[in-house]
Structure 1
Amino acid sequence: MSPSAASSFSAAEVALTEGDTERALTLLEEARQHHPDARTRGKIELLGARIEMWSDGLGAHERLLTEAARVERDDRTLAAAMLAEAAYLVQGEDDELAEVLARRSIDASRRARARPAPMSLLTLANLLTVRGDTKAAERFMRKAVSSVQRGRGGDYEALFRAAANFFWFEEYATARGLLEHLVSVGRDRAKTFLPVALDTLAAVDVRTGRLASASAKSTEALRLARLAGQDLQVASCLTTLASVEARRGLADRCRAHVDEALALASGTPFVRAYALQAMAVLELGLDRPQALIDAANSVGVEWNSLASRVVDWIPDLVEAHVRVGNRKEALRLLDEYAVVAEQTRRPTAIAAASRCRGLVSRSPEFEPHFERALELHARARTPFERARTELAYGERLRRSRRRAEARRLLAAALGGFERLGAASWAERARRELAATGGKRISADDIVALLTPHELQVAALVRKGATNKQAAGALFVSPKTIEYHLANIYAKVGVRSRTELSHFLSTNDV
């Protein structure tokens, strides 16, 4: 490497670390002008491709392939990294080529007796996800994380992509741990990755019901992405903020952020999918299903893309068609989506499909579908989605003239939406609850309903005590606890310990 090329390349690395992508690209162009050798050109194109991914996500894979061919004989490890990056860039546009490049990268690493480039493993994980082979996809994800960690954890790009995959697969604790590490690193020495790490952490917060935290993180991420000139990341931040605003019923802000995101990156499937999902939550919360159908026709997200495998906008469209009376179209969409949901093995996706099946089923066949959805929500721990299922289930029960059962579910939905600050959805639940002729059950009502012994048992069950543990705490036999629980279930209209615990938590007892 010539001294001038070396100096410009090193300065570009520093600029990228500091989050100044525009300066980094300028310095890389300076380095190219100094006629670097093949290995140095490869490093320049690899770094440039990673910068372009955050700026506009276009165009660098052909340069990577050209330089990889030149350097492969002398530096197979570098060639493998370049092929892996090219594979990641081209996926979604040409999945067949992406797979070829990823496998070439792995082969080059093997011949160099080096660990596979993490981006090649993540590309294969994404391609397998699209095909429905999520078990194999998860194996590749974990191999990628292991490869980064064994390489001293400095490949922040690959570490972020792995965190995103774990987020898509609803392994929120794993995703959160990786993302919090990246945020810490980003604040300290890798500022380029700070906006995307913060924004994806905000998306985890949205899924797990921490809307205030999500809004704060994504607002900071948006400011940093704008400063860094990362247009694609700006669009992503806007869709995350729109998701928060949709849940809160802030219609004008949500629509403005969606419009800006699509103006910046309408060619990116994930941006379109997340924008449409935000609009879906907004319009359904406002009870405007036709507006959602119109938005879906306008935005146009590909059914067979990775984005449609991991962003659940299709169940919302099914619900919209049910609500406008188009049951035939709802069934068509649901039948296609249900296959995808089962393939991905994601609890939230399968629960959404089950909820939709409950919406389209004839009476009295709808109950098992809603019950399955509630069981899956308990595993996924996504409170907004659970409240939506409780609302839909309660609506069906009310229309079947089973008002007492409907009241219990609608009260739970209302409590869930209110705790989340989901104003428009809470209003929908409130209207449905009023239509049952009842009112929300208060803590005082429950205290009046249960005997002192039943209240003690209920309190212990809410804390997670088993029958044996509750019996020991109250100095009675387990059979006595069973007797009290049976009475409690009958009085408050639940059928299991899990339902009882959720009912008590929902009603702040």
Structure 2
Amino acid sequence: MAAAARAAWGAGAAAAALLRPVDAEWLRGELPVARLGGGLRGILEFACGIPERAHHYLVRDMAVVSEPRRAVELGTVAVRAAWSAGRPDLQREALRQVRAVHPDGDPDLAELLPVLRNWWSCYDRPGAAAPATLDLSHGTVGRLGAAAWELLPPVPLAQAWGIEGGLLDVLHVQAAQLRRRHELTALALVLSQTAVLDLAAGRWEAAGTAAAEGLRLAGEVGADHVATQCRASLAALAAARGDGRTVGELTARVLEVSVPRGVRVLSAAAYWYRGRAALFAGRPQDALADLLCLAEPGHEAAHPTSALFAAADTVEAAVQAGGTDAAGPRAAMVAEWARRTGAPWARTAAHRLQALVAGGPAAEDSFRAALDTAGAAGCPFEYARTRLLYGEWLRRARRRADARHELAAAAEVFDRLGAEPLRARALRERALTERPAPARGGGPPTAAGLTAQELRVARLAADGLTNREIGAQLLISPRTVGHHLASVYPKLGITSRAELARIDFAGDLRLKAAGD
């Protein structure tokens, strides 16, 4: 039965493979079956079940499998399972087991073990430096590419440290090998990871293809978590492209699987991409409602890696909605990570968020630093977002020619990627630069163009009232207040509550009274 389970897994029948070890344990007990099955029970649980339970099986089975290499493979998957569940305590337990394995005459394993220990240890010790010896762009690529998929690091962690450069090559090698061996479940897992890298690098068509194939294979073999990861990647694409309906459908499917099983990294992805879709659609208050959950202790979607990546969206949504209390801590978190790792994405994001939080004349230096960071252009979508925000700042500073340059460049990238909401926003902003600038000596702009309710909300917000206080005065919900402010900002050519102070609401009221 144990041998049949291994064959079923290799043939892509995960559901059938999961049943056989359970039946076999009734005959011989857990440990003999673990030895004969090579620890497959935990691998199956990792692919289809509950991560915390997968961690239990994997750590247990490390001690009974006969080969040190297999013990290391099980241990690294145990670390990944704990990370997926958002359980640093279980992650540390698995790391202790991995560190204790000896290569026992296996030269390849002896060469890989220091790399793997260094890689995982940086997550075990909060103050540890980046895994510098894990150079995924040189010799390690070949060694990892020839090893089992279980030894590969989770893609989001490699991205967080800014050392994912050679990981895509490793995954392509793995995919080719798994195709030749017809190991469909493992192939689906590798494709799901490939889609994440392609998304970040702006290869959206390739990302969609990999995620769609991974989803199809995972559905055929019954690898639920792999299918869920692929749905999350497709939701990320839909959010950037403005397809809110698809985002809603896909994230609902993700949460159906991830929440009951405690796969917090996938639940976090669903909340993140729902928040992104709302942000790009001009609903910052709705975006915040989802994005803030990623750092809320005990929440079903709380996950530190996801919260780190989503911080840029969270800060932008907070600034647009006037919730500066949420913006500062997230910006500081990214800045600290950038100092610790030097990752290009983090350094770029830290400068961009500093510009958003600080505002005023000092913002330009931060925007320029974000655009000039080495490697920043390697993530074209995020680079274009920085240019969009910088262009909006330049337009508000009445530097129309400079603004047009940044906004046109951003719109071109969004158009190439198919990011329609941000392309439309960049073009709207660029069109505003074509209008004659108001005379500098003519006083502050008025609030002409607002509806009566928008005007009431804007005046109260300019007086310093919170969304809740405004809602109490006007007998509407705080969320409705946020919706009104999200409409007010583009009409007034501003992006934050702080800028409302320069609007001449009194003058506008006089105009409205005269017209009535």
- TM-score interval (norm. to shorter): 0.7 to 0.9
For 2:35, which of 32, 38, 42 is the aligned residue?
42
* Partner of residue 395, structure 1: 392
TM-score of the superposed pair, with normalisation by structure 2: 0.73
* Structure 2 residue aligned with 1:193: 186
Offset at residue 45 of structure 1 (A):
6.3
- Residue 220 of structure 2 corresponds to 227
Contact 1:370 1:389 (C-alpha < 8 Å) held by counterparts:
yes
Determine if the alignment matches structure 1 residue 385 to structure 2 residue 382: yes
1:59 aligns with 2:64: no
Do the aligned residues in 2 keep the contact of 1:64 with 1:83 (CA within 8 Å)? Answer: yes
Are the equivalent residues in 2 in contact too, given 1:81–1:117 (CA < 8 A)?
Answer: no
CA shift in 2, pair 1:109/1:142, >3 Å: farther
Deviation at residue 312 of structure 1 after TM alignment: 1.3
Report how far residue 106 of structure 1 moved.
2.7
Cα pair 1:99 1:124 within 8 Å, conserved: no
Secondary structure of residue in 1 paired with 2:102: helix
1:137 counterpart (122, 131, 134): 131
Task: Name the structure 2 match of 1:449.
Answer: none
Q: CA deviation at 1:113?
A: 7.0
Local SS of the residue matching 2:368: helix
Q: Gaps (5+ residues) in structure 1?
A: 1-7, 440-509
TM superposition shift of 1:300: 5.7
In structure 2, the residue corresponding to 1:312 is in which secondary structure? helix
Q: Deviations over 1:111-150 (max 9, x none)?
A: 7777369699657634524755574434357699959938
- Measured in 1, the distance between the counterparts of 2:268 and 2:155 equals 19
Q: Which residue of 2 aligns with 1:258?
A: 251
- Structure 1 residue 295 corresponds to structure 2 residue 290: yes
Contact 1:417–1:423 (8 Å) recurs in 2: yes
Q: 1:361 to 1:14 in 2, by over 3 A?
A: same
**2:412 — aligned with what?**
415
Structure 1 counterpart of 2:16: 23
Residue identity opposite 2:365 in structure 1: P
TM-superposed deviation, 1:209: 1.3
- Aligned partner of 1:451 in structure 2 is none
Deviations along 1:361-408, one digit per CA (max 9) or x if unpaired, are: 232101111111111275451111111000100111111111121111
**For the Cα contact (< 8 Å) 2:3–2:36, is it kept in 1?**
no
Give the deviation of 1:351 after TM superposition: 0.8
SS at match of 1:313: helix
Q: Deviations over 1:229-273 (max 9, x none)?
A: 222112211110011111111111012111211221033232133
| 1:137 match: secondary structure | coil
User: Post-superposition shift, 1:102?
Assistant: 2.3
Kept in 2, the 8 Å contact 1:170–1:380? The answer is no
Counterpart CA distance in 2 for 1:146 and 1:82 is 20
Q: Which residue of 2 aligns with 1:431?
A: 428
Corresponding residue of 2:170? 178
Matched-pair contact (CA < 8 Å) for 1:231–1:265:
no
2:453 corresponds to: none
Tell me which moved more, 297-306 or 393-402.
297-306
Check whether the contact 1:348–1:380 (CA below 8 A) recurs between aligned residues.
no
Q: Could you say what secondary structure the match of 2:282 adopts?
A: coil
> Which amino acid counterpart does residue 178 of structure 1 have in structure 2?
V
Q: CA deviation at 1:356?
A: 1.3
CA separation in 2, counterparts of 1:119 and 1:262? Answer: 36
Q: Distance in 1 between matches of 2:375 and 2:68?
A: 48
8 Å contact 1:195–1:225 — kept in the other structure? yes
Instruction: Identify the residue that residue 248 of structure 1 maps to in structure 2.
Output: 241
Which of the residues 32, 35, 52 maps onto 2:25? 32
- Matching residue's letter, 1:265: S
Q: Separation in 2 of the partners of 1:82 and 1:172?
A: 23
Deviations 1:169-192 (A, max 9, x none): 444541110111122123221211
- Cα offsets for 1:322-368 (capped at 9, x unmatched): 11123343223312332123323221122112111111223210111
2: distance between equivalents of 1:162 and 1:294? Answer: 27
Q: Distance in 2 between matches of 1:132 and 1:37?
A: 35
Q: 1:361 aligns with which of 358, 362, 365?
A: 358
Change (3 A) 1:52 1:365: same
Distance 1:78 1:277, change over 3 A: closer
1:270 and 2:262 are equivalent in the alignment: no
The CA deviation string for residues 400-423 of structure 1, in whole angstroms up to 9 with x for no partner, is: 111121111111111111111111
1:63 Cα shift? 3.9
Give the equivalent residue in structure 1 for 2:306. Answer: 308
For 1:125, the equivalent position in structure 2 comes to 119
Candidates 349, 352, 356, aligned match of 1:352:
349
Q: Distance in 1 between matches of 2:203 and 2:136?
A: 27
Tell me whether 410-419 or 197-206 shows the greater mean CA deviation. Answer: 197-206
Asked if the contact 2:48–2:224 (Cα under 8 Å) also holds between the matched residues in 1, the reply is: yes
Residues of 2 paired with 1:43 and 1:119: CA distance?
A: 24
- Whole-Å Cα distance in 1 between the matches of residues 53 and 399 of structure 2? 59
Could you say if the C-alpha distance between residues 43 and 366 of structure 1 is closer, same or farther in structure 2, counting changes exceeding 3 Å?
farther
> 2:81 is matched with which residue: 86, 89, 92?
89
- Distance in 2, Cα, partners of 1:430 & 1:314: 26
Count the aligned residue pairs: 427
* Structure 2 residue aligned with 1:149: 143
Judge conservation of contact 1:134–1:344 (CA < 8 Å) in 2.
Answer: no
Deviation at 1:85, TM superposition (A): 4.5
8 Å CA contact 2:34–2:40 kept in 1: the answer is no
Matched, 1:320 2:320: no
- For residues 76 and 208 of structure 1, do their structure 2 counterparts lie closer, same or farther at Cα, with a shift above 3 Å needed? closer
* Contact 2:95/2:121, CA 8 A, preserved across alignment: no
Q: Deviations over 1:208-238 (max 9, x none)?
A: 1122221122112111112222221122111
Q: Determine if contact 2:55/2:90 at 8 Å carries over to the other structure.
A: no
1:218 corresponds, among 203, 211, 217, to 211
Tell me, yes or no, if the aligned pair for 1:374 and 1:389 is still in contact at 8 Å: yes
Are 1:347 and 1:380, in contact at CA under 8 Å, matched by a contact in 2?
no
Contact 2:291–2:310 (8 Å) recurs in 1: no
Aligned match for 2:151, one of 152, 158, 175: 158
Partner deviation per Cα, 1:11-38 (whole Å, 9 max, x = no partner): 2222111211111122323443442795
Cα distance change of structure 1 residues 377 and 278 upon mapping to structure 2, 3 Å threshold: farther
Of stretches 175-184 and 267-276 in structure 1, the one that deviates more from structure 2 is 267-276
Offset at 1:428? 0.5
Q: Evaluate the alpha carbon distance shift between residue 254 and residue 143 of structure 1 in structure 2; reply closer, same or farther with a 3 A threshold.
A: closer
- Confirm or deny: 8 A CA contact 1:54 1:233 kept in the other structure: yes
Q: Quick one: distance in 2 between partners of 1:365 and 1:37?
A: 63
Q: Is the 8 A contact 1:388 1:413 kept in 2?
A: yes
Higher relative contact order (CA 8 A, sep 6+): 2
Aligned AA for 1:181?
V
| Pair 1:109–1:80, CA change in 2 (3 A) | farther
Alignment partners' CA distance in 2, 1:285 and 1:211: 17
